[in-house]
Amino acid sequence: MKRFIVVGLGNFGSAVAETLYTQGHDVTTVDLDEKAVDRIARRVSRAAVGDGRQIEVLEKIGAADADAGIVSTGDDITASILATLALRDLGVEEIYVKVISADHARVAEKLGVTETIFPERESGQRLATRIASRSLLNYVRLAPDFSIQEMAVPESWIGQSLRDLELPRRYRISVVAVRDVLRDEMIPVPDPDSPLKESDTLLVSGRDEDLLNAARVT
């Protein structure tokens, strides 16, 4: 079990806090909005009304003992920066910051945060990538120009095995898992000699350009 401090309880901060708590972690949240704090109080370890920009407030609710901090202060960039600095001054080693612009991200990165998250942009990128190809079902960006994608099995691949298809050689992509949609079963180590079915989807990893080329197969 890890300890987390979440500063800011908008949609993003609340979702992160609740998810971490359901995974069995100790989660403390803080926000100036009493209604937001009341809404999440029963779904986290501790919920406090307070100013997450102030080091005294964070120290009082135990932020210094957190393994990681998540800063999600909506559109208030100043509050985000001050909360980040306060967590850094308390010695929190891992800090994740929701950003709303490239400039916001650049400032946060200058402060040495672990990672900046731009939910709106990332959601837009996933949607654009998915709708650009009818074969793509899900898209998770892991690094610039590298991702994991879930794709329907192209018609020409049905009945062939992964060994037959030689995807690493032909497309420079790797199959991470096979999902049997009808049985709702994920096969993390697929049999390379098992024929692919129309009801299968493939979780594949690789460079975006290579994955796009594979998704264009009919």
Q: Which domains does the chain have, with CATH numbers?
A: 3-117 (3.40.50.720), 122-215 (3.30.70.1450)
CA 35 distance to own-chain centroid: 26
**pLDDT value for 49:** 97
**pLDDT value for 113:** 95
**pLDDT value for 139:** 64
CA atoms of 12 and 25, how far apart (whole Å): 18
CA atoms of 202 and 187, how far apart (whole Å): 10
CA atoms of 140 and 125, how far apart (whole Å): 10
Q: Please, what is the Cα angle at 92 between 68 and 57, to 5 degrees?
A: 100
pLDDT tens, residue by residue, 172-204: 999 999 988 888 888 999 999 999 998 898 999
8 A C-beta contact, residue 141 and residue 125: yes
pTM of the model: 0.67
